[in-house]
């Protein structure tokens, strides 16, 4: 009998020691076969186990607020979340001080430091260290690299800490049981929601992992649903989209949604609350009406930095109203919709798309005045957003509007007249001096 077999037999009656004994010997229990032979396991260069994540899975969440939880359980969960918040902030400070931005699993000496400091289990320490490491990695990828300060009391609990099962008695639908391993042993019954029922009816599978948090004195649980990502469509049409603060979301196939959002924004009072949440809900309801069943590619505009450098340009009233133009939320909702329907989403530069004529393929800055588009060359008239949506569709088929050669003339303040067809190139037909 080998040393590991004798040690495993000795601590068989105490399950919580098996993991610690295996860690001391440097053996991962998940890589052992029934005969005791260790199976090959993907290892990073620094000796840490690689994360096993299926990239072909779509993930969605459904939040349930624990309004029916009694006071004693509420206090226990709140204390646990406060402890996890302090531990994760400790790991964030530690990783930032070490300049460790890898986002990988922490080593055992680091975990044992938190275990000795806070009196937690090794398993809980590893889980919280992983979440803190991912947080530091995410912040370091941004342009402004500042040490993150955790604001919300949120923790992700894996299947080591929690089980989810249908509630057997009447009055509730689901039973979330915290089973220890560092988390308190607790049973949390809760009722289902329409979002959960809809996900399950559409074939989504509920994950064994949950996310639990505390926000403004209210406890909540996020259920995570997974589903295999469908393959991208190979047949269908290419559709362009243009979003506008006043005119909503305009598609090149004549679909227009969200026109009533602008009027609702004008009705908001100065001290009115939850206005952004209402606009987000209206935007989601509007996109549900869009039919993309026969679409294989959706081309949208990149408005990531549309407000950059505009500080002090508009009045305070207009800035407050303009903040309800949730273009980033619109992109996220479209990404989810396209992912679920197997549609390729393409983001294009919106530069001059509303001044380029989709009829004669000529550009002139005089073509657009406000929301009205009238080509000075061919006389074609349309709404500026409709014209931009058609251009975005054509640019997806034919490439980019401005090649580096054309950009050189544009920066020199020359007027450029270009001609194009549905080919991946643009042909210059005329270059003239600027008209002022």
Question: Which of 144-148, 250-254, 302-306 has the least mean pLDDT?
Answer: 302-306
Q: End of a domain among 207, 228, 249?
A: 228
Residues 345, 221 within the same domain: no
Segment 150-164 shows an average pLDDT of 92
Residues 72, 36 within the same domain: no
Cα-Cα-Cα-Cα dihedral of 306, 310, 313, 316, to 10°? Answer: 80
The yes-or-no verdict on residue 404 having pLDDT over 50 is: no
State the Cα–Cα distance between residues 162 and 185, nearest whole angstrom: 9
The yes-or-no verdict on residue 290 having pLDDT over 70 is: yes
Give the pLDDT confidence of 312-362 residue by residue, as tens digits: 788 888 888 888 888 889 999 999 999 999 999 988 777 777 777 888 878
Segment 388-401 shows an average pLDDT of 63
pLDDT averaged over every residue in the chain: 78
State the Cα–Cα distance between residues 258 and 246, nearest whole angstrom: 9
Residues 18, 141 within the same domain: no
Does 57 map to a domain? no
pTM score of the predicted model: 0.72
135 is written with which tokens? 């947080």
Q: End of a domain among 173, 193, 228?
A: 228
Sign of the Cα torsion 310, 313, 315, 321 reads negative
Does 387 map to a domain? yes
Cα-Cα-Cα-Cα dihedral of 91, 95, 101, 105, to 10°? Answer: -50
The yes-or-no verdict on residue 98 having pLDDT over 50 is: yes
Residues 220, 72 within the same domain: yes
The yes-or-no verdict on residue 24 having pLDDT over 50 is: no
Residues 135, 249 within the same domain: no
Does 46 map to a domain? no
Give the pLDDT confidence of 250-260 residue by residue, as tens digits: 888 889 899 89
Residues 338, 420 within the same domain: yes
Under 8 Å CB-to-CB from 63, ≥6 apart: which residues? 220, 221, 222, 223
The yes-or-no verdict on residue 405 having pLDDT over 70 is: no
State the Cα–Cα distance between residues 211 and 200, nearest whole angstrom: 18
The yes-or-no verdict on residue 18 having pLDDT over 50 is: no
Confidence of residue 188 (pLDDT cuts 50, 70, 90): very high
Sign of the Cα torsion 328, 221, 156, 60 reads negative
Residues 217, 269 within the same domain: no
The pLDDT value recorded for residue 276 is: 93
Residues 108, 9 within the same domain: no
The pLDDT value recorded for residue 53 is: 63
Residues 203, 118 within the same domain: yes
Residues 84, 102 within the same domain: yes
The more confident residue out of 362 and 98 is 98
Does 53 map to a domain? no
Residues 220, 356 within the same domain: no
Domain of residue 17, residue span? 3-41
361 is written with which tokens? 């393929």
5 is written with which tokens? 């077999």
Question: Which of 31-35, 143-147, 205-209, 219-223 has the least mean pLDDT?
Answer: 31-35
Helix (H) or strand (E) holding 127: helix 122-140
Does 52 map to a domain? no
Does 47 map to a domain? no
Buried/exposed 401-421: b ≥16 CB within 10 Å, e otherwise: bbeeebeeeeeeeeebebebe
The pLDDT value recorded for residue 187 is: 93
The more confident residue out of 326 and 32 is 326
The more confident residue out of 398 and 194 is 194
342 is written with which tokens? 């197997």
The pLDDT value recorded for residue 394 is: 65
State the Cα–Cα distance between residues 10 and 17, nearest whole angstrom: 10
Confidence of residue 141 (pLDDT cuts 50, 70, 90): confident
Of 164-178, 339-353, 403-417, which has the strongest mean pLDDT?
164-178
The pLDDT value recorded for residue 5 is: 41
Give the pLDDT confidence of 53-83 residue by residue, as tens digits: 677 899 999 999 999 899 999 999 999 999 9
The yes-or-no verdict on residue 3 having pLDDT over 50 is: no
User: Listing from the earlier edge strand, what are the strands of the sheet with 205-215?
Assistant: 57-65, 218-228, 205-215, 153-157
Residues 266, 364 within the same domain: yes
Does 50 map to a domain? no
State the Cα–Cα distance between residues 128 and 319, nearest whole angstrom: 39
Give the pLDDT confidence of 33-43 residue by residue, as tens digits: 444 444 444 33
The yes-or-no verdict on residue 25 having pLDDT over 50 is: no
Number of domains in the chain: 3
Does 126 map to a domain? yes
């Amino acid at each position: 009998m080998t040393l590991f077999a004798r040690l495993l037999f000795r601590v068989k009656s105490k399950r919580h020691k098996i993991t610690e004994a295996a860690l001391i010997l440097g053996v991962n229990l998940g890589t052992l076969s029934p005969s005791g032979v260790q199976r090959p396991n993907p290892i990073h260069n620094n000796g840490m186990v690689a994360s096993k994540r299926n990239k072909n899975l779509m993930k969605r969440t459904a939040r349930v607020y624990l309004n029916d939880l009694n006071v004693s359980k509420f206090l226990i969960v709140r204390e646990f979340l406060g402890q996890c918040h302090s531990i994760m902030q400790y790991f964030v400070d530690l990783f930032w001080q070490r300049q460790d931005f890898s986002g990988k699993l922490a080593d055992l000496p680091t975990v044992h430091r938190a275990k000795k400091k806070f009196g937690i289990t090794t398993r809980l320490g590893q889980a919280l260290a992983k979440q803190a490491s991912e947080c530091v990695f995410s912040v370091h990828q941004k342009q402004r690299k500042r040490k993150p300060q955790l604001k919300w009391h949120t923790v992700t609990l894996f299947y080591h800490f929690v089980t989810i099962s249908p509630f057997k008695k009447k009055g509730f639908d689901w039973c979330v049981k915290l089973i220890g391993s560092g988390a308190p042993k607790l049973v949390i019954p809760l009722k289902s929601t329409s979002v959960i029922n809809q996900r399950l009816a559409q074939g989504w599978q509920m994950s064994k992992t949950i996310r639990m948090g505390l926000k403004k004195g209210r406890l909540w649980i996020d259920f995570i649903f997974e589903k295999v990502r469908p393959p991208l469509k190979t047949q269908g049409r290419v559709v362009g989209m243009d979003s506008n603060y006043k005119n909503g979301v305009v598609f090149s196939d004549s679909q227009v949604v969200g026109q009533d959002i602008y009027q609702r924004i004008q009705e908001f009072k100065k001290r009115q609350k939850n206005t952004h949440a209402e606009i987000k809900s209206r935007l989601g309801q509007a996109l549900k009406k869009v039919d993309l069943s026969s679409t294989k590619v959706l081309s949208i505009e990149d408005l990531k930095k549309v407000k950059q450098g505009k500080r002090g340009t508009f009045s305070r009233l207009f800035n407050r109203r303009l903040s309800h133009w949730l273009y980033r939320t619109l992109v996220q909702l479209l990404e989810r919709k396209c992912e679920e329907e197997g549609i390729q989403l393409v983001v294009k530069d919106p530069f001059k798309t509303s001044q380029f004529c989709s009829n004669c393929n000529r550009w002139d800055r005089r073509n657009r005045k406000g929301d009205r588009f009238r080509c000075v060359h061919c006389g074609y008239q349309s709404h500026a957003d409709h014209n931009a949506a058609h251009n975005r569709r054509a640019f997806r088929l034919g490439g980019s509007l401005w090649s580096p050669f054309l950009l050189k003339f544009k920066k020199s303040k020359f007027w450029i007249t270009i001609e194009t067809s549905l080919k991946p190139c643009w042909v210059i037909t005329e270059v003239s001096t600027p008209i002022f």
